[in-house]
Structure 1
Amino acid sequence: MTGTTIDGFEYRRLAGEDGVQLNVAIGGSGEPIVLLHGFPQTHLMWRHVAGELAGQYTVIVPDLRGYGESDKPEETTPDTYSKRTMARDIVAVVRAVGYEQFSLIGHDRGALVGVRAALDHPETITHLGILDVLPTMDTWDVLHGVDAAVAWHMYLMAQPKGLPERMIGAVADDFFSSFLDAWDPSGTTFPPHVRRHYIESSTRAVPSIVADYRATAGIDLEMDRVDRKAGAQLAMPVGVISQDWGARLGFDSSALWRKWAPNATYQSIDAGHFMAEEKPVDIAAFIRELVQRTPVQVGS
């Protein structure tokens, strides 16, 4: 399918954790910024933002393990798709490109990988940007009653291995299309070839996408609870940008993030969930402002 790469970017396959190969787009020059995609998307969601940033920064845009053109290892243990493992993928890939430290910006699932990378590798992640997601343990804590229906897919994919994969696989096109429709109020964010790319890529990745979500209801949640009990916090500059859905659902999402990052900045944006594609100039400006903040010297 044409039009499913980022214009002007080089593509490489690079080894992450345990030799898993990630599809990685690299462009620009300067300090490194890594952009991680969400569900049900691939690295292509960053095509506009990456182009905006490449004139000033080295921009590294991988498909997460289990998504897009990256490897999709079988879920043999709960850790196969833990955010800790996926974070190690990203650190390994960026080191292969030639950088020991980098800014990390994630949307949705990618933001959860970014948070785990920042918790586990504070000496490596200099700046953390979070687009339109809640912390893992807080997501489960704030879902109550019928309002939890907004996250119905999370409960489905939290079930034991087997049934969710078969159910989703039977109607995969409809399943993934439903999120592209529901989370894009304007209905104009995705050109037809990009929409088709997301659906086809996700349909090929049903077991690994389910494994990613299953980990968030299991091992990822356990890791967050351990860190919360230990008082772990994110000391690097952190910026969060989100829809104003927290108010609609009855909680303060900025307060939830500040439990993890007391000095985080928080802003809302008049956009749908797929804000990097709907308003790329605004998201690029958010990223530039974040990465220009003075980084914290770990151990100082």
Structure 2
Amino acid sequence: MRIEGFAYHRLSGVDGVELNVAVGGSGPPVVLLHGFPQTHLIWREVARELAVDHTVICPDLRGYGESGKPLDGYSKRTMAADVVGVAAELGHSQFALVGHDRGALVAFRAGLDHPDVVTHLMCLDVLPTLDMWDVMHGTTAAVGFHLYLMAQPVGLPERMIAAAADEFFGYFLDLWGKDPAAIPADVRAEYLAASRNAVPSIVADYRASATIDVQQDSEDLAAGNKLRMPVTVIQQDWGAALGFDAAARWKNWATNLDHRTTTAGHFMAEESPGEITAAVRDLLKR
């Protein structure tokens, strides 16, 4: 499936990994990064709206969708460099960046590593990696069982997930959304097929968040590195549900922060595309 009206390209990320990239519209560039267990198609409504007056760039992250799936190389630093490289190949030395879920972690790293490239940053429904692990404790951590499963050494997680791939990935599509109609049957089938064919790379992406990503984020925290561009964070109010202050966590990382909660479910770009599009436009005015 494709986003209607967008052109598709095969562009090079780091180490020659090819990324599937949808591009539409014209004007100041905005890059949209998807999350788990999805592809760039999560942006189909938001992208078309933004393309009225922006160049909108929607890649499949490495390891997902129709992009290349190397066995390793899933640090968010590498994945962020993919995004910067793709934008440069399209002729953009600067861009606004919006990420959801796993894509938001890539966007977060891009903002830290490439502050002269990322002009505005939006992260949807995540905490930075260090904070995510810090707030997961006790029985409330059960909600993040997949984080612990995919953090295990190579072998067992891949075999377990591959044995029931559609059930595993479908579980999150069902659990995390509040509006089942927001992901039509054909789009859901696309997500399941893409994830089914990418189990090792998806696990590798999550495993990196328990290893190299923790190390690199810890180094930035110790050095006092922060996001200097305007930042918008939109989350469900699961901070209150799990007993932590999400806005305070983000304020430790961002000097110019607009933190919002939403009544939409996790898949907010699909459940509430008008809200997210308006929020992107608000961010770009700052």
- Smaller-chain TM-score range? over 0.9
Aligned to 2:58, the other structure's residue is in SS state: strand
Partner residue of 1:118?
A: 111
Aligned to 1:86, the other structure's residue is in SS state: helix
Q: CA deviation at 1:189?
A: 1.6
Partner residue of 2:252?
A: 259
Q: CA deviation at 1:185?
A: 2.4
* CA offsets 1:190-219 (integer angstroms, 9 cap, x no match): 110000000010000000000000000000
**Whole-Å Cα distance in 1 between the matches of residues 151 and 229 of structure 2?**
31
**Whole-Å Cα distance in 1 between the matches of residues 161 and 277 of structure 2?**
34
**Whole-Å Cα distance in 2 between the matches of residues 92 and 254 of structure 1?**
31
Q: Please tell me whether residue 225 in structure 1 is matched to residue 218 in structure 2.
A: yes
Look up the equivalent residue of 2:249 and give its one-letter code. Answer: L
Q: TM-score, normalised by structure 2?
A: 0.99
After TM superposition, list the pairs within 5 Å mapping 1:190-229 onto structure 2.
Answer: 190-229=183-222
Look up the equivalent residue of 1:184 and give its one-letter code. Answer: G
Partner residue of 1:153?
A: 146
**Whole-Å Cα distance in 2 between the matches of residues 93 and 267 of structure 1?**
30
**Whole-Å Cα distance in 2 between the matches of residues 123 and 262 of structure 1?**
15
Partner residue of 1:285?
A: 278
Q: TM-score, normalised by structure 1?
A: 0.95
Partner residue of 1:24?
A: 21
**Whole-Å Cα distance in 2 between the matches of residues 57 and 70 of structure 1?**
24
- Segments of 4+ in structure 1 off by > 6 A? none
State which of 21, 25, 42 in structure 2 corresponds to 1:45.
Answer: 42
Look up the equivalent residue of 2:10 and give its one-letter code. Answer: R
Look up the equivalent residue of 1:41 and give its one-letter code. Answer: Q
- Matched positions, count: 286
Partner residue of 2:85?
A: 92
After TM superposition, list the pairs within 5 Å mapping 1:62-211 onto structure 2.
Answer: 62-75=59-72, 80-211=73-204
**Whole-Å Cα distance in 1 between the matches of residues 119 and 201 of structure 2?**
29
Q: CA deviation at 1:8?
A: 0.2
Q: Please tell me whether residue 56 in structure 1 is matched to residue 53 in structure 2.
A: yes
Q: CA deviation at 1:263?
A: 2.0
Look up the equivalent residue of 1:84 and give its one-letter code. Answer: R
Look up the equivalent residue of 2:91 and give its one-letter code. Answer: G
Partner residue of 1:35?
A: 32
Q: CA deviation at 1:184?
A: 1.2
Over aligned residues, Cα RMSD in angstroms? 0.6
* CA offsets 1:116-158 (integer angstroms, 9 cap, x no match): 1111111100000010100100000001100000000000000
Aligned to 2:193, the other structure's residue is in SS state: helix
Look up the equivalent residue of 1:202 and give its one-letter code. Answer: S
**Whole-Å Cα distance in 1 between the matches of residues 102 and 178 of structure 2?**
20
Of 22-31 and 182-191, deviating more is: 182-191
**Whole-Å Cα distance in 2 between the matches of residues 262 and 122 of structure 1?**
13
Partner residue of 1:298?
A: none
Q: CA deviation at 1:291?
A: 1.2
Partner residue of 2:3?
A: 6
Aligned to 1:188, the other structure's residue is in SS state: helix
Unaligned runs of 5+ in 2: none
Q: CA deviation at 1:244?
A: 0.9
* CA offsets 1:55-90 (integer angstroms, 9 cap, x no match): 010000000000000000112xxxx10000000100
* CA offsets 1:12-47 (integer angstroms, 9 cap, x no match): 000010111000000000000000000000000000
Partner residue of 2:241?
A: 248
**Whole-Å Cα distance in 1 between the matches of residues 160 and 230 of structure 2?**
41
